[in-house]
Chain A
Amino acid sequence: MIDVSTKNPVYVSTDGKAGPYIVVPVLQIEEVRTLLDANDVSYWVDEDAISLNGEPEITVINLGHGSEAATVQKILDSAS
């Protein structure tokens, strides 16, 4: 899946120990949610939408401790 703002692939962040997460443009939330739901991936979405320097709003999808980042990354990549 391509980030419509950066034109780069959407990726699963794994920094830190709090579980993986995905930063996505607000415009693509539903697309990502549909994909995660279809693959039974549990997650929750931040309520805040942040725009930096006037760029398109982004938000965060939190996957939590139990999620396999690599598996979710494959799911995202398969939607490209």
Chain B
Amino acid sequence: MPLIDEITRLRDETLSSLDTIHNYYFHTKSAWRIVQQVVRKGNKFTIRNRATGSIVDETELSGLAQAYVTGLLASATFQHFVSVLERFVSDFLSLWLTEYPNSLSGKELKFKTVLDATDKNKIVATVVEKELLELAYQRISDWFLYLEKIAQLGCPISDQIERLTEIKASRDVLVHNNGIVNSVYVGKSMGRARFVDGDKLVLPEDYHRDSWELIKQVVKDVSNAAIKKLEK
């Protein structure tokens, strides 16, 4: 498939994934709000989890609903947004480097790799994969510096990169530090930190939505800039 078609497919699939996750967030939250309303209207029930043995009544579930909505649900879907972005950047770079591998011409590889490869495409794929694996451990700002170096698309702009960097740092706090802000988060956030060391990181709905919108915008900007460049 031509690169322009591959990038179009990647863009559309990524945007669709982001919409699916946001719909899941929104509908799940609404379902919990309906539960709270049902409880407020005086309905009684108990729920027993046969696996854990826990039993909750309507009052407890209503309180848990608030924690689920503002905590676990927001956190899980936020992390999913970031995962989709990471996957998009990785896939985009893979497509671009596979089509234009000259920037990798200085890379070294074991002669065994050449011997084992069925053709040149296999060798290129191996080098691209290795390059992206190394890049994956670098900061998100480095990913976009790399993107600009190889593709010269002029996006995302620095403001977007700084915001994405804070979003990624927030994700790392949720995944690696149980949601408690540390100095690593502050250091990674490029002056955009929303909290200080020791705070509990929270995801207000406007921030959750802004993050989703920013990631969508960056996916569109990068894809469309590449498509425009390839059309020339």
> Could you tell me which A residues sit within 8 Å of B by CB distance?
13, 15-19, 21, 23, 44-48, 50, 52, 58, 60, 62, 64-65
A47-B38 contact given A16-B66, A18-B66, CB 8 Å threshold: no
Q: In the complex, which of the residues A15, A18, A21, A45 contacts B59, with contact meaning CB atoms closer than 8 Å?
A: A15
Give chain A nearest CB distance to B51 CB in angstroms: 22
Task: Collect the chain B residues with CB atoms within 8 Å of residue A47's CB.
Answer: 26, 205, 209
Q: Which of A15, A18, A46, A64 contacts B33 (CB 8 A)?
A: A46
A72–chain B nearest beta-carbon distance, Å: 15
Asked if residues A18 and B63 are in contact (CB atoms below 8 Å), the reply is yes
Query: Is the beta-carbon distance between A65 and B36 smaller than 8 angstroms?
Result: no
Flag whether B177 is at the interface (Cβ < 8 A). Answer: no
Q: Are B64's CB and A45's CB within 8 A? A: no
Secondary structure of the A contact surface, majority rule: loop
Closest to A60 in B: B33
List, sorted by A's number, 22 A–B pairs whose CB atoms are closer than 8 Å: A15-B63, A15-B66, A16-B65, A18-B67, A18-B69, A18-B70, A18-B71, A19-B70, A21-B66, A23-B36, A23-B40, A44-B206, A48-B29, A50-B33, A50-B37, A52-B38, A58-B33, A58-B37, A60-B33, A62-B70, A64-B204, A65-B200
A43 to chain B, nearest CB (A): 9
Q: Beta-carbon contacts of B57-76 to A below 8 Å, as 1s and 0s?
A: 00110111111011100000
Interface of B, secondary structure class, is: helix
> Does B160 have its Cβ within 8 Å of any Cβ on chain A?
no
- Other 18 A-B pairs with CB < 8 A, given A21-B66, A46-B205, A64-B202: A15-B59, A15-B66, A16-B66, A16-B67, A18-B63, A18-B67, A18-B70, A23-B37, A45-B205, A47-B26, A47-B209, A50-B33, A50-B37, A52-B41, A60-B36, A62-B70, A64-B70, A64-B204
Quick check: is B133 within 8 A (CB to CB) of the other chain? no
Q: Which residues of B contact A (CB under 8 A)?
A: 26, 29-30, 33-34, 36-38, 40-41, 59-60, 62-67, 69-71, 200, 202, 204-206, 209
For residue A71, give the distance in angstroms from its CB to the closest CB of chain B. Answer: 19
Query: Do the beta carbons of B34 and A50 come within 8 Å of each other?
Result: yes
Taken together as a complex, chains A and B put the C-alpha atoms of A13 and B34 apart, in Å, by 15
In Å, the complex CA distance between A16 and B70 comes to: 12
C-alpha spacing A52/B37, complex, angstroms: 8
Whether B64 and A52, one on each chain, are in contact in the complex, defined by CB atoms closer than 8 angstroms, is: no
B62 near A44: Cβ-Cβ < 8 Å:
no
Contacts of B38 in A (CB 8 A): 52
Please state if B62 and A16 are interface contacts (CB–CB under 8 Å). yes
